[in-house]
Amino acid sequence: MSRLDWLNGLPLEEAQAEFLRCCGSRRWAEGMARARPFAQETAVYTEAGWLWSQTGPEDWKEAISHHPRIGDVSQLRERFKATGTWSAQEQKGVQGASEEVLQALADGNREYEERFGFTFLICATGKGAPEILEQLRERLNNPPPLEMRIAAGEQAQITRLRLEKLLTSP
């Protein structure tokens, strides 16, 4: 049985739980679960993008709240068990960063959260700690409405990557 067939065959609540692993917006996950069955994987990605485009700031904040801070390994293990492995893979570029860079990320995360009211979110796959830190510092200068939209775009990228993982790995 293909992963797509498996996903299509799940009971509604179980499908919602799987979609929540990809994106923490309950409204989005419910919409994805109701949109099944999908004829092919591309339909999953198309529906995911369309449903995300129908969401707004409250949904975005809910989804962002399901992410650990960049570089916070203890938070990954404790709070994000359902997605911790995926998050650790996505943040692989932070591993081995110097203490100076890790401290700057921690300080930047605190400043970001104070300024915007939510966790700094970036699609970290393929990015090293210095690049992430540079983008964090740049984004601190954004007006809040713009930053919210940027973070929502980052969430959309992460969701796509996680849907691909959901559909390819048991």
Structure tokens at 159: 């969701």
Is residue 65 over pLDDT 80?
Answer: yes
The whole-model pTM stands at 0.86
| Contact predicate 71/106, CB 8 Å | yes
Distances (CA, A) of 85 to 26, 94, 113: 21, 14, 24
User: Using CA atoms, how far apart are residues 85 and 49, in angstroms rounded to an integer?
Assistant: 24
Q: pLDDT per residue over 10-64, tens digit each?
A: 999 999 999 999 999 999 999 999 999 999 999 999 999 999 999 999 999 999 9
Residue type, 36: R
Catalytic residues: 67
Fold (CATH) for 63-161: UraD-like (1.10.3330)
Domain ranges of the chain: 3-56, 63-161
